[in-house]
Structure formats: C-alpha cells, structure tokens
Structure 1
C-alpha cells in the first residue's frame, strides 16, 4: 500500500504539469513538432518518469515454457503465434515494468506493447514504409495511454491505436498483429514446447503490481476526457475489434458471441494484472480469443478499458446486450 500511495502521489503531481512543444524541444531535439495531428497540446501529460525512465527492452532471451517455474498459472501473458514460428509468451509481470519489447520473430520485427493505465496489450509489426523502427517509452501520456517513440526519428506514436501523432511519421499507422492475453498455464498447455520470455536483467519487482486496485477504482489516472456512454463504468474491460467494443462482462456471461463477422470466446483462467499487489493472487478476469467466422483465423483485437475505447473511438459501436 505504501508503494502504491507513493506512486499515485508522484504521478498526480507530475501529471498536473501541462507543457507545450517549446518546453519539450530540449529533451526532444530531433522531434519535428511542426508535424502533428495534435490540436490540443493539453492532452499530452507527463506520466511521471522521463524519456526512457521506463526502459523498453530489445532482443529478449527465452526459455521453454515447460521449464518456467516462476510464473503463476493464471498470470497474464501476451501470446503470439506466427505461422511457421515457435509460439511465444510475453509475461505481463515484465511488461508491467518495461511496457515495450522490440523483437524479431522469424522475418517479422515486432513490438510487443502493454499500457497498464489502459490495460491495452497490442503487438505491432515494426516495419513502416520499408524501414524497421525501434520503440521506446516517451514518458508522456495522452488520454491516459502510453505515447511511444521511435528511436530512428523520435516521432511520437499513440500505443492504443498504433498511429504516429508527432514528428516525421505523423499519420502513419503500424500494422497490428493478432495476439491475445491469456493465463500462462493456458499458453503452456497448448504449447508445451513454446517459448516464454525470460526474466530481464533489471532491478524490478517482477510479479508485483504497482497499480494495486486500479481496475476496481472509480476513475482512471490522468484522464481528462469524457466517460463512456450507456452508463458503462470507465474501468470496465471491453474487447475492441476495429471500431466496435464488447463489454467483457457480457462475454463472461454468454461464453461466446458471434457478431460483426467474428466469434469471440471467453474462458476462465487469467488473473487481472491490475488487482492485487501480487499478480498471481489477483482475481480471475478470463481470457478472450477472437476469430474470423469464415476462416477461423485469429483476428487482431485489444482488451482495454472502456474509457480508452471511448477516448480513441468516440463514435465507436458499443456491442451491448
């Protein structure tokens, strides 16, 4: 509780400071602030840590999933299963503290990303117009979502939508790769010879959640936008596919939904990353798979908080009962 209280204090004090591009040019001398889609710079807030204060990772090591003993069975991982490649699991216990992992799986350079404040876990192809980018954590937030940056041009990217918002890559979109969050044991049972990202060599409290109780709080951190419509609490999880969102509570009740050309299935077995101080001891929120109704192929999606969906898709479709 002491760590959580200290973290909240630091974040709110830092986030209260609103800056303009002229204030950031010393820290970001290679960023072209004249190119941007941002019309209101007050949307950009400091999340507390400075540029690279949350250290993104590159080229991680892996161990066999069958040999992993530190990760609890229900602990959340991001599962990535590319055709022809060994399946990989990226534990949220590590992404909680690093938020981005730059890797290359086969011939595909990927960025595995997780924004704790939005519960947004998205995997992107790092190639843009033939160039391979490497991503870091800017320390900035917009609508409580992580602003990433690429080390090649120091352009800023919005994590939840994978779009360049400041700099040379303004308006460019990263390709989202189908991936999903599930409990580690669910991944291991399906892929006993799969690979799981090894613990990074950083002094971090891996397995601990510094945002204890966040997903049952009444309001998101550092968010100044509107709450979702239809009386939906802002920190309810929703499954976003394109510009449509299904409340996770509906999916948990129905088990499976076939709508909008996709089949969304829910199963128990994944702990919340944002509940108890010890992630492995957190409540079960269930796992989601989204597949194309016609082909059965996995479909790119995200399981994010309702406020974030509304912030980035204000005219989005709410798939309610």
Structure 2
C-alpha cells in the first residue's frame, strides 16, 4: 500500500470523537476513569481496530545459520540477556505485528516496534506482581502506538512503557537493553544465535507498507510542535533517558563519548521505512549504546518529532 493511501484511510478512521463514552463500546473492560492523558483529543484511531494488527505470543525460533529469507541489510532487534543465546527479531515481521510477547531466559519480555515513530523497545512484561500479555489497541497518541494488556485492558504508551489509561495508569515497565542492527551484523557477531521464524500469517513479510515514510515532510497523524534547532521531524535520534543525539551527528563522528555513555555508529543497516522492499532501503546505520564499563544500555532510536512530543523538556545533544 502506498503511503498516501494509508494516510487517507487512517484519516477517515479518525472521524469518531475522542470520547471515552464512544470507546467503551469496544473496550468495556477498560477503566476510563483512571488516566494520565491531559486531553482525550491526543488519542486517535490509527485505522485498524483492536487487534487488527495481531500481536504475537507464540513465536518460534530457528538457528541463525539456517535462515535464508532475510536480506543482509534488513534490520533486526537484538535481545541478548545475560546467560541466554542472543535472539534476533526481524523488523520484516514486527512491521506487521508490532508486538511479540516472548520469554527469554525465564524473563517475560515484550519486543515492540512502532513503524510510525521508528521506536523499537523491549520491556520486561512483569508489573505489579503479575505477568502481562500485550496487544495492539489500534490507537495512536502523538503518532506512537498505544498498546494494551490483556489482563486489565489498560492502555500503554509504547514510547514511554507507561500505562496511560485504565487500572494500571502510572505503572511503568522496565526497559531492557536491546538494539537494532542489520541481519548481517547480527550473524557476524552471533553465529550461534537464534532468529524468530516467519509467522504463519498471510502477510507480505519483507515488504514495507509505509513506503517513503521516513523521507516525508511531516509525520503521520501528528499535530504537535516540530522539533527545535531546525532538526527535521523524521530524523532519527538516539534517546537515552531524556537526552537525544541526532543521527546525522553520530554518522559524522562514528563514536560519541559523553554523559557517561559511549555511542557507536556503523553503516550497514537498511531503513525499514524507505523503499517497498525493506532490504533495499537506504543505509541509516546501526547504533550501540554502552556505559563507561562497556555494558549495553537501554535506549531507543526514534524520530525527532516523537522525542520532542514525549520529552518536551528533553536535552538535545548537538555537540556544539
């Protein structure tokens, strides 16, 4: 589907007012009396209904050495928890499913990807003494995916890992270290690793339904302020906490050591939001974030507009 068609379809889907009374028909088990959202107008339909984008909870894995369908430059989300075999979650699958509920080394995790913000985050699914299973609500806030948990039907902001509507409002998930890199880079670093197998859904895996999105002039379903300092809204930035490093600076310098972090950039990863075939996307590079002791740090590589929307007082690390 071309981006223009996608935009028109979703714009039509936002016709119902941002009103919990309307949403209760679809979400009878969600407690709308509890919320941290200042204005319901911030939450919109992204087009698909609840579970219209099917999250996965039964992903299978195969040896990285036998996988032949994934092109070398394609992005994967790498999860390498201590004492476990590294796992690659290909973005070619997450583009169509957005959430994978998994368990790695006994840790229940949610591997998430919001294409509209380029936000790839991995969370520990344990909260308030229970293990949650997440689905895709079909709602967006500041163009970012709103997840929901199947236990309490609370709504969660993917970019924040925080419940924003429902019983668990204010609860935050623990983000786990992970990173996006190319399939080639994963295989070279982890020849003994595992890769998520192709799901059994009828989807055009390997195709990008958001063609040319990350070179568009404006974000999808976003009416907030543009980023400051003249930074393009759809430039990728590396976020750690409330700090953001623009990707063009990282590409120039290759390594940045500041704020107690070492951030490395290397070429070789294709954009998942450029050409129709993900593996043919332009090279946007891969980022690894570590602390001074060399330990991997939880971070995100998201679009600049999304950082500004969720961290309006955040610090821009411009290096000037």
**In structure 1, what is the equivalent of residue 248 of structure 2?**
249
* Partner Cα separation in structure 2 for residue 317 and residue 255 of structure 1: 20
| Equivalent residue in structure 1 for 2:305, among 295, 307, 318 | 307
* Partner Cα separation in structure 2 for residue 258 and residue 3 of structure 1: 40
Alpha carbons of 1:27 and 1:271: their partners in 2 closer, same or farther (altered >3 Å)?
Answer: same
- Give yes or no for the alignment of 1:108 onto 2:134: no
* Partner Cα separation in structure 2 for residue 45 and residue 147 of structure 1: 10
**In structure 2, what is the equivalent of residue 298 of structure 1?**
296
Aligned residues of 2:3 and 2:212 also touching (Cα < 8 A) = no
Q: TM-score, structure 2 length as denominator?
A: 0.98
Alignment RMSD (CA, Å): 0.8
**In structure 1, what is the equivalent of residue 173 of structure 2?**
174
- Any residues of structure 2 matched to 1:69-218 within 5 Å, and which? 69-218=68-217
* Partner Cα separation in structure 2 for residue 44 and residue 18 of structure 1: 10
**In structure 1, what is the equivalent of residue 40 of structure 2?**
41
* Partner Cα separation in structure 1 for residue 48 and residue 58 of structure 2: 23
* Partner Cα separation in structure 1 for residue 15 and residue 206 of structure 2: 29
* Partner Cα separation in structure 2 for residue 16 and residue 262 of structure 1: 45
Cα-to-partner distance string for 1:23-54 (whole Å, 9 max, x where unaligned): 01111010000010012000000000000000
Cα-to-partner distance string for 1:180-229 (whole Å, 9 max, x where unaligned): 00000100011111000000000000000000000001100000111001
Q: TM-score, structure 1 length as denominator?
A: 0.98
Q: Look up the SS of the partner of 2:136 in the other structure.
A: strand
Aligned residues of 1:57 and 1:101 also touching (Cα < 8 A) = yes
Q: Look up the SS of the partner of 2:34 in the other structure.
A: coil
* Partner Cα separation in structure 2 for residue 53 and residue 87 of structure 1: 30
Aligned residues of 2:244 and 2:307 also touching (Cα < 8 A) = yes
Q: Look up the SS of the partner of 1:49 in the other structure.
A: coil
Q: Which consecutive residues of structure 2, in runs of 5 or more, have no partner in the other structure?
A: none
Aligned residues of 2:2 and 2:210 also touching (Cα < 8 A) = no
Deviation at 1:14, TM superposition (A): 1.3
Structure 1 consecutive aligned stretches of length 4 or more whose deviation exceeds 4 Å? none
* Partner Cα separation in structure 1 for residue 137 and residue 301 of structure 2: 23
**In structure 2, what is the equivalent of residue 316 of structure 1?**
314
Q: Look up the SS of the partner of 1:246 in the other structure.
A: strand
**In structure 2, what is the equivalent of residue 275 of structure 1?**
274
Q: Which consecutive residues of structure 1, in runs of 5 or more, have no partner in the other structure?
A: none
* Partner Cα separation in structure 2 for residue 75 and residue 311 of structure 1: 28
Alpha carbons of 1:304 and 1:16: their partners in 2 closer, same or farther (altered >3 Å)?
Answer: farther
Aligned residues of 1:16 and 1:45 also touching (Cα < 8 A) = no
Aligned residues of 1:124 and 1:177 also touching (Cα < 8 A) = yes
Q: Look up the SS of the partner of 2:172 in the other structure.
A: coil
Aligned residues of 1:228 and 1:310 also touching (Cα < 8 A) = yes
Deviation at 1:16, TM superposition (A): 4.6
Deviation at 1:15, TM superposition (A): 3.0
Once the two structures are overlaid, the 10-residue window that deviates more, 118-127 or 14-23, is: 14-23
Aligned residues of 2:246 and 2:317 also touching (Cα < 8 A) = yes
